[in-house]
Amino acid sequence: MNKPDVIEKFLRYVKIDTQSDDEAGTSPSTMKQHDLAKLLVSELKEIGASDIIYDEDHCYVYATIPSNINDGKDRPAIGFISHMDTSDEVSGKNVKPRIVEKYDGKDIVLNDKEKVILSPIDFPELSNHVGEDLIVTDGTTLLGADDKAGVAEIMTMAEILLTNPDLPHGEIKIAFTPDEEIGAGTAFFDVAKFGAKYAYTVDGGKLGDLEYENFNAASGKITVHGRSVHPGDAKNKMINAALICYEFHALLPVFMNPMYTEGREGFFHLTEVNGGTETATASYIIRDHDEKLFAQKKELFVNAAEYLNKKYGEGVVEVTVTDQYRNMIEKIRPHMHLIDNAKKAMTDLGVTPLEFPIRGGTDGASLSYMGLPCPNLCTGGYNYHGKYEYASIQEMRKVVDILLGIVNAYGKEF
Q: Which residues are annotated as a binding site?
A: 83, 146, 181, 203, 385
Give the three-state DSSP class for 297: helix
- Residues present in the chain in total: 414
Give the three-state DSSP class for 400: helix
DSSP string, 182-202: GT-TTTT--HHHH--SEEEEE
Set 85, 209, 395, 401: catalytic member: 85
Distances (CA, A) of 23 to 32, 163, 245, 280, 316: 15, 42, 21, 17, 24
Set 159, 180, 209, 401: catalytic member: 180
78-83 and 172-177: which strand pairing? Answer: parallel
* Residue 57: closest CA among 23, 82, 26, 19: 26
Distances (CA, A) of 279 to 270, 303, 345, 383, 399: 18, 20, 55, 35, 49
Distance CA 24, CA 114 (A): 31
Is the CB of residue 163 less than 8 Å from the CB of residue 47? yes
List Cβ neighbours of 136 (8 Å cut-off, separation of 6 or more). Answer: 97, 98, 99, 100, 108, 110, 118, 143, 389, 390
Known catalytic residue at 180: yes
Known catalytic residue at 85: yes
Is the CB of residue 266 less than 8 Å from the CB of residue 361? no
Q: Which residues does the annotation place in the binding site for Zn(2+)?
A: 83, 146, 181, 203, 385
Distance CA 16, CA 91 (A): 12
- State the catalytic residues: 85, 180
